[in-house]
Structure 1
């Protein structure tokens, strides 16, 4: 497909994934001006959730893109917060979850069954719980029980709503005085994304468009994504999976120097792989050296592309690199003759889980029982 042909793009991108991603700066601005009321205490049935307690750890519960936003928060605050941040992608909470565990449950639709299950465990353990979503069963439960709910705009593909899932977490942590959200950083992100989207949007021809150029190099190949921040590599991998409907591999440096790198030894020269390296000004000096040595190992056998991310606050770097990756994944979808909006396999899984196990219905019953006990 000709990814410079705007008519063909709109014919395949039927729900306007490009348009959704284009709005990221506006979405960030919207969330930045939004606030959330957090009470000092609420009761859900016979359970008491206290929000003024000292927080010893933070659990971010979610699946897919919702959980990915937690990965970014954990990465960003790794060397500045005293409280550990754990991203929970499961039906249950860890045993340590207690009254001193802040639980932030995220589901864009408000109907993600694993997240709903996590909320029930949080209530049982009397964890101060705050939810983020656009509506659904989660919102109904929160409104009915006065659980703090950060409402975000509906109408987006969950994976295209990354700012709507990331920035509410920052607002919540700020509201609880766990950390402060620097407005200068937020404004820098907004300006960087506005500048970048002019360079990589569909109207910009391939000859001047880095995202299109990279997508063309990746076409009909299996991307192996390297990054010093796993959240960026994994997000890009997931976008390639869902948007472009193809497999990808995500690896973090320095960890992959202790396993993954050996896998290249048996590769023949004609192979389907291409290595995409995200490079950051903030990466550790030893990680930079490991990148150079790793490149020497694989270059004889695979093509390798480096994406140099501009300097700035770490959060600025993380969000900017993610924006570039999202655009690349949509162009790759078009090159694969795939509608970037559809996720038939995921929809089938959800339908079959409800048909065969009535999983969501039973989980909502459990939540209702908690609120009435």
Structure 2
């Protein structure tokens, strides 16, 4: 944790900053036929979490795009939310330009960069985050801004719920203890593939954890979703595998929980290590708590493996390579 602790400890303050600096957009879901959230990395995962959280109550489809192209159907009846921490992510800027060309209504989340410049030229409302973090360590901004944007669209008020979270989130030692307890279950399995299996609501959190393991701990991590994975991936579970398994279950559907029970017994009977993470429903409190715990866990694993969690050499090499192609 020695390389990124000072930044991860700021997560609750990112949430607080976003709550204090949120500006009402005065829109309702009735204004739109679809919503598109555009972002990559930490910006994209925030969109996926929000899509999952509002899945059961959104009367219009919500899509998350982490690519260069908007769907064909985007038009003046679409709300496009452009999220780029740096404001210079080339894929996201491409999506912004297309959203303008398609006459969609646009909101932006960024610290500045080209995105802020373009947004201000087009009178697009911008939700500003604070600079100074690697993008994956700035999730508190995009996740909280998106939570507030969507709750206002849905005529809900979650500000009090988020504010009540802050006292808990600022108790760093609690999350370090929770992360340490999980780590103790597979300390001797750090150099193998980490296989994260989730139910549908927690799938974006599984992706977030995998991404943090990949970037922070330089560890291969993969995510599978139940029930889909029970129709294919389950057929690879024979014998003792060179993998560590982490299950995340929201407990919202008994049929899914039964599948976890079966898989756990199947894998353990063949000598595999399974760590079960159960949460009490898919609430904002549980979402923020689990994300923060797993973020700390990724840093602990990085330390145990002797990895520098603040280095992203391959990503920087790729950026340099692509810059020479443009």
Structure 1 and Structure 2 fold alike (TM over 0.5): yes
Contact 2:194 2:219 survives alignment (8 Å):
no
- Equivalence for 1:223: 194
**RMSD value, Cα:** 2.2
Partner of 1:277: 247
Structure 1 counterpart of 2:9: 22
Which residue of 1 is the match for residue 220 of structure 2?
247
Identify if the C-alpha distance between structure 1 residues 120 and 104 changes in structure 2 by more than 3 Å, giving closer, same or farther: same
Structure showing greater Rg: 1
Query: Deviation digits for residues 281-330 of structure 1, max 9, x if unmatched?
Result: 4x211111111011122112311111233x36622222211111111111
What pairs with 1:107-256 in structure 2 (closer than 5 Å)? 107-175=84-152, 177-195=153-171, 197-201=172-176, 209-214=180-185, 216-228=187-199, 229-256=202-229
Measure the CA separation in 2 of the matches of 1:53 and 1:273.
47
Check 1:52–1:322 CA distance in 2 against 1; reply closer, same or farther (3 A cut).
closer
Query: 3-state DSSP class of the match of 2:31?
Result: coil
Aligned positions, number: 323
Other-structure match for 1:345: 314
1 CA distance for matches of 2:77 and 2:117?
A: 25
Q: Unpaired runs of 5+ in structure 2?
A: none
Structure 2 residue corresponding to 1:87, chosen from 64, 68, 74: 64
Classify 1:348/1:181 alpha carbon distance in 2 versus 1 (closer, same or farther; 3 Å). farther
8 Å contact kept, 1:211–1:327:
no
Given the alignment of the two structures, is residue 306 of structure 1 paired with residue 276 of structure 2, yes or no? yes
CA contact (8 A) 2:38 2:44 kept: yes
Render the CA deviation track for 1:328-365: whole Å, top value 9, x for unaligned: 11111111211111111111111111111x2xxxxxxx
Deviations 1:192-223 (A, max 9, x none): 4334x31343xx6x9x9325425624411211
Distance in 1 between the 2:218 and 2:58 partners? Answer: 37
Asked whether the equivalents of residues 214 and 221 of structure 2 are also in contact (C-alpha less than 8 Å), the reply is yes
Residue of structure 2 equivalent to 1:6 = none
How far apart, CA to CA, are the structure 1 residues paired with 2:209 and 2:189?
13
Q: 1:52 to 1:298 in 2, by over 3 A?
A: closer
- Alignment of structure 1 residues 288-299 onto 2, 5 Å: 288-299=257-268
For the residue of structure 2 that corresponds to 1:319, the secondary structure is helix
Shift of 1:184: 3.1
Residues 181/161 of structure 1: CA separation in 2 closer, same or farther (3 Å cut): farther
Task: Identify unmatched segments of 5+ residues in structure 1.
Answer: 1-8, 41-50, 359-373
Q: Is the 8 A contact 1:220 1:272 kept in 2?
A: no
Question: Contact between 1:215 and 1:329, CA under 8 Å: does it hold in 2?
Answer: no
> Displacement of 1:138 after TM fit?
0.6
Cα distance between partner residues in 2 of 1:231 and 1:52: 23
- Structure 1 position 327 matched with structure 2 position 300: no
- 3-state SS of paired residue (1:324): helix
Structure 1 counterpart SS, 2:214: helix
